[in-house]
A = this chain, B = another copy of it.
Amino acid sequence: MLSDVMEDYLKAIYQLQGEHEERIKTSAIADALEVTSPTVTSMLEKLEERGLVDREKYRGVTLTDEGETVALEVVRHHRLLEAYLTEHLDYDWSEVHAEADRLEHHISEDFEARVADALDEPEVDPHGSPIPSADLEPPDRSAGKSVTEFAEGDVVVVEEVADHDPEVLSYLATHGVEPGVELEILEVAPFGMVTARSSETVDDVSLPEGVAHHVRVTPLPQAES
């Protein structure tokens, strides 16, 4: 059996691998989990012993297939919970992350199955992030690009808002930046700030780079007249 903490490390590594590919450094994990690097080093040793990560001293880790499966299970729990909380308990998308983070390690397989059933096997959570399927096959994580990669005049559809800060999410929601909406890019500043107009609201929104980076979009399938 794995501890909650081990699951958190595996989840963190999985998510970092999704962002930057390849080997994940000790310090990146330490930042993500808010612990010190020696703590991470000793945890990585334990995970390595259990065959959940491949480690090269001083050069970072990658998940083994087994480690990835565990991470996917945790992510599935997390995102199913997020979906359930918004659908059935009237949570706002800005609030679900913290609650799901607390519960994800403590639900049974049975609970997972019942929640998935109640939601009719959803494919994405309220932030547009894909929910790993019950068989825990690694999902495609290449859907969408950061909105920062587009240019003035492009029209895009928001696929995913991969931020967890409730304040940021509330802000985005009130300015019409949510999965499914269309965004017309008005400006991409050299320092990464994106200004856009949402199909949902009248006002324009400006997203500082840190935020914009988490807004993943796809080009509008059909050009508009």
Interface residues of A (CB under 8 A from B): 88-91, 95, 98-99, 102-103, 106-108, 110-111, 114-115, 118
16 A-B interface contacts by CB (under 8 A): A88-B88, A88-B118, A89-B114, A90-B114, A91-B114, A95-B110, A98-B108, A99-B107, A99-B110, A99-B111, A102-B106, A102-B107, A102-B108, A103-B106, A103-B107, A106-B106
Closest B residue, CB atoms, query A118:
B89
Chain A at the B interface: mostly helix, strand, loop or mixed? helix
Cα distance A103–B118 when bound, in Å?
Answer: 19
Cα distance A90–B118 when bound, in Å?
Answer: 9
Closest B residue, CB atoms, query A115:
B89
Which 9 A-B residue pairs are closest in the complex by CB-CB distance? A89-B114, A102-B106, A106-B106, A103-B106, A99-B111, A99-B108, A90-B114, A89-B118, A103-B103
Instruction: Specify how many copies of this chain sit in the oligomer.
Output: 2
Report chain B residues within 8 Å CB of A88.
88, 118
Report chain B residues within 8 Å CB of A106.
102-103, 106
Cα distance A163–B197 when bound, in Å?
Answer: 59
* A199 CB to nearest chain B CB (Å): 31
* A177 CB to nearest chain B CB (Å): 24
